[in-house]
Amino acid sequence: MKSSTLIFRSTIVIFILAGFAHYFTYANQSASTIKNEAEPLKSEMPPAANENVYGHEAHTSNSDIPLDQDPESKPEVRFLIGTWKVKYTSEEFTGAVVYKIKKEGSVYNAYTYRYEDENGYSEKAEEIKSLTIKPFSGNSAKGMYRIAYEGEKYEVECQIKKISDTSFSLSYDYYGYSDTETWKKQ
Amino acid sequence: MIEFLSKKLDWIDVDYWFSILNEWSFVYIILPFFALELIRYTYLKQLSKDLVLDSLANIFTFGAFFTIEIILGLLAVTKAYFWIYQNFSLPHLNLNWATIISCVLLADFAYYWEHRMMHRIGIGWATHTVHHSSPHFNMSVAYRFGPLDAIMPILFSLPLVMLGFDPILVLLSEVFVQVFQTLLHTEVIGKFVKPVEYIFNTPSHHRVHHGSNRQYWDKNYGGILIIWDRLLGTFEPENEKVIYGISEPLNSVNPIKVFFHGLSRFFRKLKKIKGLPNKILAFVKPPDWMPDQKSIT
């Protein structure tokens, strides 16, 4: 068989198969866009939500890849990347921890960024990887949460569920010790 | 249908199903099938010391190959994949059924070309000849690899990453193609019904690929699908009884010799070739190429 025939046939195969994948990704994104257009515009949202949406975009400039340069700048990526605050009330710690979520490879990692006590005083935290979120579908994901309890550290599988554009819930159950946290975007 | 194919999937689930199909297949299908082959050899009174030692050599070569693959993977390959993905890729594809199906088919197509290159260029055959050098044909032969077998596929999988497929999905798809290939290394299964034989690579087609009979040389390169061979002119059906091995038999079950014999033969050939340009050409020219003669095939 002539080389030109081989090249032509191979190109057709690659074009069809890659085109098939791109078409269905595009179809999905178009469907999402149509769905989003049916939802209220940002300007029609309550001011608090509005601030958070834009506030989030401002915060993402601190992440590894600026959003406007991120080739994977999809809504689900934009949603997770940024700073998040979680309130804790336990015997060991009462206050809040601010985390920074960054996209690293195909996963999202949350690093401790700042501690806030119940009186509102805050201090910068040592950057410790506390949560790894596997690729995010847009509404839910599974992850690995690193928690400390009575001086011991544990890695616990957790479930992430989007509550709104500015919050998600993180729930886990570790041998009967279960909890659900609400992460709020800063 | 469009909704089903384009629906986003959760990575953790995809990873789980690929692990069932890839890693765990060794436990639930490959190992039991190899045991069945050993029983068949015993029944046919073909279970010999040579066969057992040959199988052990195959396992050794796999260990060496796997070590090289892990070192390469840790040092460079995965980093290169992600770097290409971030810098030289078409828009990134979502994780959905359409993407998975396309990626597996493209990985299979890439495998066809990679495999064809391994047979048709000097350095490719220097490493791939190890896989073909066994005079036996069973599942252990699927694990018989050469020293550079982990390197060649990279050239063909990077374009998939450039097409927008997630590097992890590409790697999982490649392993899936390899696992499917493993199952073809058997004499236990004769031929399937015609539609299956027409579309898919089968043990019959792959026996042809391992044949040292002249008409079987450089045929049936496919991984999962045989239609690539039909499309690109390299298909050959199994008619004549297959004689396994290579044209210049190795006649050894020494694992070290098995693993390195292709490269040592290649370097011996290089010594005979005069002039640096010709030596370099020997890497990319067909395996039987010599400067003063035309290719036999």
pLDDT in tens, B245-268: 998 999 999 999 999 999 999 999
Q: Which residue of B has its CA nearest to A28?
A: B6
Q: What is the largest CA-CA distance in chain B?
A: 62
Query: Average pLDDT for residues A52-65, to the nearest whole number?
Result: 33
Query: Average pLDDT for residues A29-50, to the nearest whole number?
Result: 45
Give one DSSP letter per residue of A21-59, joined into a string. HHHHHHHHHHHHHHHHHHSPPGGGS-HHHHHHHHHHHHH
Chain A interface test: which of B1, B4, B5, B6 (most A C-beta within 10 Å) = B6
Check if the beta carbon of residue B244 is closer than 8 Å to that of residue B137.
Answer: yes
Q: Which of A68-72, B42-46, B178-182, B259-263 has the lowest mean pLDDT?
A: A68-72
The DSSP code for B290 is B
User: Residue A60: pLDDT above 70?
Assistant: no
Residue A12 touches chain B, beta carbons under 8 Å:
no
- Please give the angle made by the CA atoms of B212, B217 and B221, to the nearest 5 degrees: 115
- Please give the angle made by the CA atoms of B184, B188 and B194, to the nearest 5 degrees: 65
pLDDT in tens, B133-161: 999 999 999 999 999 998 888 889 899 99
User: Residue A18: pLDDT above 90?
Assistant: yes
The DSSP code for B289 is -
Predicted local confidence at residue A49, as pLDDT: 33
The better pLDDT of the pair B168, A105 is held by B168
CA–CA dist B251, B198 (Å, integer): 35
Q: Which of B142, B132, B168, B157 minimizes the C-alpha distance to B242?
A: B132
- The alpha-carbon gap from A142 to the nearest alpha carbon of chain B, in Å, equals 7
Predicted local confidence at residue A53, as pLDDT: 29
Predicted local confidence at residue A43, as pLDDT: 36
User: Residue B235: pLDDT above 80?
Assistant: yes
Q: Cβ of A24 and B103 within 8 Å?
A: no
ipTM associated with this complex? 0.89
CA–CA dist B164, B88 (Å, integer): 9
If phi > 0 it is left, if psi is from -120 to 50 it is alpha, else beta; for residue A138 that is left
Q: Cβ of B10 and A140 within 8 Å?
A: yes
In whole numbers, what is the pLDDT of chain A averaged over residues? 75
Residue A25 touches chain B, beta carbons under 8 Å:
yes
pLDDT band for A76, please (50, 70, 90 cuts).
Answer: low
Instruction: Among B89, B99, B232, select the one facing A21 at the smallest CB separation.
Output: B99
Its sign, for the CA torsion B41, B46, B52, B53, is negative
Within its chain, how far is the Cα of B100 from the centroid? 20
User: Residue B34: pLDDT above 60?
Assistant: yes
pLDDT in tens, B72-92: 877 778 888 888 988 899 998
What length is written for chain B?
297
User: Residue A45: pLDDT above 50?
Assistant: no
Q: How many CB pairs under 8 A join A and B?
A: 91
Q: What percent of chain A has pLDDT over 70?
A: 71
Check if the beta carbon of residue B94 is closer than 8 Å to that of residue A25.
Answer: yes
Chain A interface test: which of B89, B102, B297 (most A C-beta within 10 Å) = B102
Instruction: Among B8, B95, B164, select the one facing A22 at the smallest CB separation.
Output: B164
CA–CA dist B132, B141 (Å, integer): 8
* B chain contacts of residue A140, beta-carbon cutoff 8 Å: 10
Q: What percent of chain A has pLDDT over 90?
A: 23
* A chain contacts of residue B7, beta-carbon cutoff 8 Å: 28
Rg, chain A, Cα only:
21
pLDDT band for A55, please (50, 70, 90 cuts).
Answer: very low
Predicted local confidence at residue A120, as pLDDT: 75
Chain B interface test: which of A28, A76, A133, A134 (most B C-beta within 10 Å) = A28
What length is written for chain A?
186
- The alpha-carbon gap from A74 to the nearest alpha carbon of chain B, in Å, equals 10
Residue A146 touches chain B, beta carbons under 8 Å:
no
Q: Cβ of B93 and A9 within 8 Å?
A: no
Angle between helices B167-182 and B97-120 (to 10 degrees): 60
Check if the beta carbon of residue B265 is closer than 8 Å to that of residue B126.
Answer: yes
Chain B interface test: which of A3, A106, A132, A136 (most B C-beta within 10 Å) = A106
Check if the beta carbon of residue A75 is closer than 8 Å to that of residue A38.
Answer: no
Residue A18 touches chain B, beta carbons under 8 Å:
yes
The better pLDDT of the pair B107, A180 is held by B107
pLDDT in tens, A137-164: 778 888 889 887 777 777 888 989 888 8
Residue B179 touches chain A, beta carbons under 8 Å:
no
* A chain contacts of residue B219, beta-carbon cutoff 8 Å: none
Count of other CB atoms within 10 angstroms of residue B208:
23
Q: Which residue of A has its CA nearest to B3?
A: A28
Predicted local confidence at residue B293, as pLDDT: 56
Beta strands in B55-205 (DSSP E): none
CA–CA dist B142, B181 (Å, integer): 7
